[in-house]
Amino acid sequence: MSIMFRKLGILIKSIEKNNIREKVRCASTLPQLSSEKYNIKRKQFSNVESTDVNYFKRILGEERVLTEETDVMPYNIDWIKNCRGQSSVVLKPKSTEEVSNILKYCNERRLAVCPQGGNTGLVGGSVPVFDEIIINFTLMNKVISLDEISGALICESGCILENLDNYVRDRNLIMPLDLGAKGTCQIGGNASTNAGGLRLLRYGNLHGSILGIEAVKADGTVIDCLKALKKDNTGYHLKHLFIGSEGTLGVITKVAVHCPALPKAVTLGFFGVENFENILQLYRSAKTSLGEILSAFEMADFEAINTTVKNLKLP
């Protein structure tokens, strides 16, 4: 018996040692804290207390309130691993009403929040700096309606761009935007960042494609501008303020987007040209000959191509 306990003791010690080693290894690979890196001082917000967490658990349920350090960590770090926040709570609402309750409560308690979509932003806006509560929209992922004649799609803000594109493609439509992060970024994040992407040349930016928005202000008030009419010339268009506002005016909970018709064919041309002047000439010629069907025009210089070939081990 005593031999067994001694062996168990050795085993526990070695597990502890490995855990410590693992923690040290992880700590050394984590990005530096954003607050230290950019020398930012925390403002006068309240600290999150256990009563706050209990409130969130009451309105969302236990499983949609993450508080374990290992569960919260990925939400604290941005896509390129340049920024790291120190949040201890991630909330995953499923409806506008829940978002409204969360924000109303946080506003009254003076708790800071950080809205987060797919966390693919490249400028650190999607992760907290200090202990802001992360409101993640992943579970608000329902398509509400699609008018196949007008192309008006209404959906929740957490819908992943690629899923929406597949959904409308099955109905002979296409999303007006496309970007490398499409498999992870969310339409609410796209609207909040006024994302451009590969189809901008043909379909314009999101100010033209987004027909309406539903958003929740910091005090919990729901702003309903969720119109789906393209030719809407009534009054002010508050939606434009939310496009590109990165959560500073409130959080976007629903979006109405105009989806153009799916092109019958896509043709890709790959040209080798000798200098930048020739690129401009090629662009002018493509615009003149192809008109509005030109979807995208991108250039990659010698170094960019060489780096890609090398890093991706392309033939």
If one asks whether residue 300 binds ligand FAD (CB under 6 A), the answer comes out as: no
Given 37, 59, 246, 297, the residue binding ligand FAD (CB under 6 A): 246
If one asks whether residue 179 binds ligand FAD (CB under 6 A), the answer comes out as: yes
CB 177 within 8 A of CB 168: no
CA 120 distance to own-chain centroid: 5
Q: Which residues pair with 310 in a beta bridge?
A: none
Q: Which residues contact 91 (CB under 8 A, 6 or more apart)?
A: 56, 60, 64, 65, 66, 102, 133, 134, 135, 136
Q: Cβ closer to ligand FAD: 1 or 314?
A: 314
What's the DSSP call for residue 259?
A: -
Q: Which of residues 152-171 bind ligand FAD (CB under 6 A)?
A: 157
Select the residue whose beta carbon is closest to ligand FAD and give its number: 189
CA 58 distance to own-chain centroid: 26
Given 76, 87, 100, 119, the residue binding ligand FAD (CB under 6 A): 119
If one asks whether residue 220 binds ligand FAD (CB under 6 A), the answer comes out as: no
Q: Cβ closer to ligand FAD: 137 or 203?
A: 137
Instruction: Give the per-residue contact string, 8-47, with ligand FAD (x = CB under 6 A; - = no).
Output: ----------------------------------------
Least separation in angstroms between residue 149's CB and ligand FAD is 28
Cα distance between the two ends of the chain: 63
Runs of H (alpha helix) within the chain: 2-29, 34-37, 50-60, 69-76, 96-109, 161-169, 187-193, 200-203, 206-209, 239-242, 276-290, 302-311
If one asks whether residue 93 binds ligand FAD (CB under 6 A), the answer comes out as: no
If one asks whether residue 197 binds ligand FAD (CB under 6 A), the answer comes out as: yes
Q: Cβ closer to ligand FAD: 34 or 190?
A: 190
- For 103, 179, 237, the CA distances from 115, given in Å and listed in that order, are 11, 21, 23
Q: List interacting residues with ligand FAD (CB under 6 A).
A: 79, 114-122, 125-126, 137, 157, 179-181, 185-186, 188-190, 192-193, 195-197, 246-247, 251-252
